[in-house]
Structure 1
Amino acid sequence: MAEERPGAWFGFGFCGFGQELGSGRGHQVHSPSPLRAGVDVCRVSASWSYTAFVTRGGCVELSGSVSGSAGGCRDAWASEGLLLVLRAGPGPEALLQAWAPDSALRGEPLWAHNVVPEAEGEDDPGGEAQTGRLPLLPCARAYVSPRPPFYRPLAPELRARQLELGAEHALLLDAAGQVFSWGGGRHGQLGHGTLEAELEPRLLEALQGLTMAEVAAGGWHSVCVSETGDIYIWGWNESGQLALPTRNLAEDGETVTREATGLNEDGSQVKRTGRVEDGAPAPFIAVQPFPALLDLPLGSDAAKVSCGSRHTAVVTRTGELYTWGWGKYGQLGHKDTTSLDWPRRVEYFVDEQLQVKAVTCGPWNTYVYAVEKGKS
């Protein structure tokens, strides 16, 4: 009988540095595995070689190439060059600290800054599992970059709700549900139809008139989810992370005809190939510089999204998890290392009668928060 609990975190993918990925052994975990501290964890932020976990008791713990812990924390954000920790202060104030990851959170931080949250209680570590707001600061008027200057103010007219950083670009979702992007654009990850860089936040005109609920930035690709559950995706498609035909996967020999197993509306399996209506082979897509609408199997509506370096994960409104893109280390959770250029449901959570509530991707791994079906 399943243990009575509010929910737990699961991990899968690359763990070559000893990242906490449940009971997995070796350098890869190919199927979702419960984290040993999964019941207590409320937030997860994963970099390439280590992961930061924030517990409901307000402790941040590091696992992987670096270790360490600190108490009195409200949030944490991990990158290879910088570890951000938001620590509780007196009253509504909070103290943001930037640490060198190998410092083990000992000694003095590289930089510190006092911030005042927009509203008290927004970052309550005892609340429902989530991925946190960092690198957007609680004041929603600035964000933190892993490269100096660490503190970067936003224009006063930008009322940020969410901010995500890719390898070379940034995405911002404002209070009205509009999406802005800036930074490097050489892989089309900004969504403006060009490969040019943008120094300042620029509105995605292709999405005007559509209200977005969430954004995610991969290494060099971008995804957003609308309030109606639609997915829009753009940028680099080198490993199929846009769920579009890609030459790299075809040349692997595994997807030469781009055959893939999908589901009919009645749940039966069906084969599909990458061919257009006139029978010609579907074109390969290396870069998609404009947002493209993506349909999930069975007409599922999306609720949550996260991106790894070259893979994508989406949670549906019914609590199912779909993943696609680069899968070399098992980060797609399908019990193998196959890369996919189409969304595939992670059957583990269906088989275990679990409903997925949150997902956060590291560059080469994935973390998922799930509850037993029928429980809030």
Structure 2
Amino acid sequence: MAEERRGAWFGFGFCGFGQALGSGRGRQVHSPEPLRAPGAGLDVCRVSASWSYTAFVTREGGRVELSGFAVGAAGGCRDAWASEELLVVLRAGPGPGAGTELQAWAPGSALRGEPLWAQTVPEAEREDGPVGDETQAGPLPLLPCARAYVSPRPPFYRPLAPTLRARRLELGAEHALLLDAAGQVFSWGGGRHGQLGHGTLEAEPEPRLLQALQGLTMAEVAAGGWHSLCVSEAGDIYIWGWNESGQLALPTKSLAEDGKTTAEASGLNEDGSEVKTGAGGEDGAPASFIAVQPFPALLDLPLGSDAVKASCGSRHTAVVTKDGKAVHFTLGKYGQLGHKDTTSLDRPCRVKYFVDKQLQVRTVSCGPWNTYVYAVEKEKS
């Protein structure tokens, strides 16, 4: 039986501040490249990217390394979450039995001196004891207690209603998505781009259940700048919100005007060969342009692939399929789609680099204008 080798992280997209995207020295990295220092040589288990810097968390020793406009390092960390306003880390509290401490730092502090504020957070608990792995709270900005989350703007520590048993929480530029223990999705915040998925452009001050997805069990959620996505347990993708750059993989006028819409885009067959696809609806009729999709729309992936992971940037989307092939779509202005250029797409397209290298993608993490991918290769039996 083939054994899986240790994987590696790859980065591509905007690198104007030296965010450790790869070996390239330019402001843009157009094709996936293995991470260079500080990521190189470290067993990185988590990547959180903001616009101007990236936080890397190592598996051994829980070390956080910052690269880009903000630099610095700290040990004893379980998780880190990067935003332009705050760098948030979860660290072991001072002294034995001190629990876990939430710390918020100014990104330019280099993790030195004292944090802006710190707070001890409880671990998640059930009525009958500790929460099991199947309902364990996800990464930051959701806290381990699963009853509160971190916001980059005051108030930084925000409690959730006791009735919400959160499993994962994602923040967009103006909205939030929550996946609960039962696989239901809630959204709240600004809705002017349809990113809440309730069929209107109105804001929601409190978490509201997405009625359109009720009865479907979701396994993942992802929030972009002004769009949203979730992956069902069956591997289906539902996506909604702003489609100005094609980030929903739906026809968009901006790309059509630039001559970069589906009509001129190429995809990949199962063997990695290129295939052209045409635009338009049935009988060759022109496709309708979609600027805002206020309800969740079911997205068809190439060749009927099932999705397992997803992440969203400001105006791009990345999906990992069950077969380990990464799919990207939308604005590629800085090479964040990984297709060797800055071409933008308004439909799913596999990243040829990983197909050619026979790498299987395991997870993906999007920054606002860049993408990080963890991939492995299998030894021959």
TM-score of Structure 1 vs Structure 2, range by shorter chain: over 0.9
1 CA distance for matches of 2:299 and 2:221? 14
The more displaced of 265-274 and 323-332 is 265-274
Look up the match of 1:349: 354
Measured against aligned partners, the alpha-carbon deviations of 1:180-236 in whole angstroms (never above 9, x if no partner) come to 000000000000000000000000000011000000000000000000000000000
1:24 corresponds to which residue?
24
Q: Distance in 2 between matches of 1:121 and 1:54?
A: 24
Instruction: Provide the residue aligned with 1:47 in structure 2.
Output: 50
Q: Distance in 2 between matches of 1:15 and 1:25?
A: 8
Q: CA deviation at 1:347?
A: 1.3
Residue identity matched to 1:95? E
Query: Structure 1 residues 186, 137: closer, same or farther in 2, change over 3 A?
Result: same
Q: Closer, same or farther in 2 for the Cα pair 1:81/1:268, shift >3 Å? A: closer
Q: Is the 8 A contact 1:92 1:117 kept in 2?
A: no
The aligned residue for residue 9 of structure 1 is 9
Structure 1 residue aligned with 2:246: 240
Letter in 2 for 1:206: A
Q: 1:98 to 1:122 in 2, by over 3 A?
A: farther
Q: Retained in 1: the 8 A contact 2:268–2:350?
A: no
Please give the per-residue CA displacement for 1:309-332, whole angstroms capped at 9, x wherever unaligned.
000000001111000111011100
SS at match of 1:249: helix
Q: CA deviation at 1:266?
A: 7.7
Given candidates 166, 173, 181, the residue that maps to 1:175 is 181
Alignment CA distance shift 1:146-1:30 (3 Å): same
**Cα drift, residue 118 of structure 1:** 1.7
Contact 1:92/1:116 (8 A) holds in 2: no
Shift in Å, 1:260: 2.6
Determine which of 96, 101, 119 is the counterpart of 1:95: 101
| 1:82 maps to 2:68 | no
- 1:187 is aligned, of 193, 196, 204, to 193
| 2: CA distance, partners of 1:264 / 1:109 | 51
What is the match of residue 259 of structure 2? 253
Within the alignment, does 1:298 sit opposite 2:303 as a pair?
A: yes
- Select 2:376's aligned residue among 334, 346, 371: 371
Of the three residues 230, 234, 245, the one matched with 2:236 is 230
Does residue 116 of structure 2 align to residue 110 of structure 1? yes
TM-score between the two structures when normalised by the length of structure 2: 0.91
Measured in 1, the distance between the counterparts of 2:229 and 2:215 equals: 17
Distance 1:16 1:200, change over 3 A: same
Q: Give CA-to-partner distance per residue, 1:215-269, whole Å, 9 cap, x none.
A: 00000000000000000000000110000000000111233x7333235678765
Paired residues of 1:263 and 1:298 also in contact (CA < 8 A): no
Equivalence for 1:311? 316
Question: Which letter does structure 2 place at the counterpart of 1:63?
Answer: S
Answering whether residue 76 of structure 2 is matched by residue 72 of structure 1, we say: yes
- Structure 1 residue 135 corresponds to structure 2 residue 118: no
The 1:87/1:122 distance shift into structure 2, 3 A limit, reads farther
Q: Is the CA contact 2:272–2:356 (under 8 Å) kept in the aligned structure 1?
A: no
Q: Distance between the aligned counterparts of 1:98 and 1:133, measured in 2? A: 15
TM-score between both structures, scaled by the size of structure 1: 0.92
Aligned to 1:126: none
Task: Provide the secondary structure at the position in 2 that maps to 1:275.
Answer: coil
* Aligned equivalent of 1:128: none
- 1:258-286 CA distance string (max 9 Å, x none): 33323567876543222111432111000
Residue among 308, 328, 331 paired with 1:323 = 328
Shift of 1:28: 0.5
Distance 1:137 1:265 in 2: 40
Q: How does 1:31-42 map to 2 (within 5 A)?
A: 31-36=31-36, 37-38=39-40, 39-42=42-45
Q: Does 1:211 align with 2:214?
A: no
Letter in 1 for 2:9: W
How many positions carry a matched residue from both structures?
A: 364
* Aligned residue identity for 1:9: W
SS for the counterpart of 2:26 is coil
Report the counterpart of residue 129 of structure 1 in structure 2: none
> CA offsets, 1:33-61, max 9 Å, x none?
10133451111000000000111221101
- Measure, in 2, the Cα distance between the counterparts of 1:266 and 1:362: 29
CA distance in 1, matches of 2:104, 2:274: 50
Residue identity in the other structure for 2:76: G
Matched position secondary structure for 1:349:
helix
CA RMSD of aligned residues (A): 2.1
CA distance in 2, matches of 1:263, 1:362: 25
- Provide the residue aligned with 1:127 in structure 2: none
Q: Deviations over 1:1-20 (max 9, x none)?
A: xxx95111111000101111
SS in 1 for 2:6: coil
Q: State the distance in 2 between where 1:295 and 1:92 align.
A: 48
